[in-house]
Amino acid sequence: MKKPLIGVTGRRFRLSLLHAADPRYGDRCVDTALADFATRIAAVGGLPVQLSFDAEAEAACDWLSGVVISGGQDVHPACWGGDTSVVGDLDPRANPSVHDVDRDAYEIALVRAALERGIPVLGVCRGLQVLNVALGGTLIPDLPAGTVSHLSAETAPSDGATDHVVTFADGSLAWDLFGEQMTTNSWHHQAVDRCGSGLVVTGRTSDGVVEAVELPGSPVLGVQWHPEWMVSADPALTWLVQAASTHLAERSHIEIERCTP
């Protein structure tokens, strides 16, 4: 059987930001997706591919069997009704940590196209927030300091600090994957506020911050931590590849039936 094709989103920035890049090409852009995703997806039987913003969302989903919406910069508040006055006029091609409206638009379109086709989706950190926004949800723009540290100073990879324990809802997909509780890494300062249409919260830290969401009845999972940067085994990417394999098998069966006289 064919391996499921898993699309992974990423960033776009100028080559001049890379150390030792040839200055003759410095104004050209490079598309990047974290190699940790590719390595771990391949290790559990998936075929990872990087998705450029130019890989039109609906057309890409004609080929993909699974999607990872990866981490990165904040989602622009215009996408979810937030305060746009706090956004500076900075170029994401020159600074890949600032808002990127092109990335926002692409990933929101990709989520919606994948959901329409029943393609499994894993949202990671920012990706969870994109998933929520794509379904009409809102975000907390900046988490206040509290009893749990969400914007860690730890270097990746990391299994996280002892204060960052996520508790999962009994009977949820997250419970099945991670158990009742799991200590995770954490590098975020925004979080889900109001859930988008159909999304349910299935994991929180002790301070109430949303750490996992699901779309019941659909192969959709959002996690606020980084499974690709956990030192210990994290089953999130294994789940995605298995769900993508099931989707691929079902789609192949339908295509065979259509071609059978």
Q: Which of these is catalytic: 76, 150, 228, 247? A: 228
Strand partners, 167: 181, 204
Q: Which of these is catalytic: 125, 150, 188, 211? A: 125
Annotation marks residue 125 as catalytic: yes
Sequence-distant (≥ 6) Cβ neighbours of residue 89 within 8 angstroms: none
Q: Which of these is catalytic: 99, 150, 164, 226? A: 226
Q: Which residues of 137-154 are buried (b: 16+ CB within 10 A; e: fewer)?
A: bbbbbeeeeeebbbebee
Question: Are the C-beta atoms of residues 80 and 138 closer than 8 Å to each other?
Answer: yes
* Torsion (CA) 223, 70, 242, 48 in degrees, nearest 10: -160
Catalytic residues: 125, 226, 228
